[in-house]
Amino acid sequence: MNTLTVQSNGNGHHNSPEHLDEIAEHPELMLIDTHTAIEESVREILCAVGEDPNRDGLLRTPHRVAKMYGELLEGYTQDLDTIVNNAMFEVEYGEGEMVVVADIEYGSMCEHHMLPFVGKAHVAYIPRDKVIGLSKIPRIVDMFARRLQVQERLTNEIADALVQVIDPVGVMVVVEGQHSCASLRGVEKHGLNMITTAQRGEFRANPGLREEYYRLIGK
Ligand SMILES: [Zn+2]
């Protein structure tokens, strides 16, 4: 558990050394602390935009936002080993043939504006001597998506994680994303689809493989 440690500076006591000792002994306190810190911050934002955080409709909003961040950013509390949990299998598979998992829906949050971006990830790899359980790839995608992200990094992190876990001959990841920060503000372009790719190993060397992959995912 790391990074999602938002320490309140509202009244100072959250940062005191005694408090940190207490957290070291009882890690569950950190979650409570994070939740409280986000609630306090949301209340401050509501005041700053001229709202009354005590009016009926807004009373529980800080609580709901803190809970939502807990869900949307839960990737910070996850790690690759736990998620993969040794779900790896040795199989006989045609040499050089690829495994494709397409249309993995994800939701993430852009780190520049803290607004959501959503879309699909398409993952392919060419096994060397092991394959990974099918359900694990969407979970790896989610683990990285549920952090503050930029789509380019998300794409690379998925590819690098697969290299690390299955040591494949090659990996290719394509991520499509529609960014709220582009449709709601700034350029206000609706329906833009951003596409990012990451290639590792054989996919980088062999254009024919990339073409086959694009054909398999219908691009
Ligand atoms: Zn953005």
Q: Is 113 a catalytic residue?
A: yes
Q: What is the pTM of this model?
A: 0.83
Q: What is the DSSP letter of 74?
A: G
Residues 44 and 149 grouped into a single domain: no
Residues 62 and 21 grouped into a single domain: yes
User: Considering only CA atoms, which of 176, 155, 142 is closest in space to residue 73?
Assistant: 142
> How many angstroms does the Cα of residue 182 sit away from the middle of ligand 1?
7
Mean pLDDT on 13-17: 48
What is the C-alpha to C-alpha distance for residues 142 and 147, in angstroms, rounded to an integer? 9
Residues with Cβ within 8 Å of 124's Cβ and at least 6 positions away in sequence, in order, are 98, 99, 100, 101, 171, 172, 173, 203, 213, 216, 217
188: phi then psi, degrees, rounded to nearest 5: 50, 50
> How many angstroms does the Cα of residue 181 sit away from the middle of ligand 1?
5
8 in any annotated domain: no
* Residue 59: CATH number of its domain: 1.10.286.10
Q: Is 47 a catalytic residue?
A: no
| Whether residue 88 has pLDDT greater than 90 | no
pLDDT band with cut points at 50, 70 and 90 for residue 1: very low
> How many angstroms does the Cα of residue 197 sit away from the middle of ligand 1?
19
Residues 144 and 172 grouped into a single domain: yes
| Whether residue 92 has pLDDT greater than 80 | no
pLDDT tens figures, 40-72: 999 999 999 999 999 999 999 999 999 999 999
Residues 138 and 198 grouped into a single domain: yes
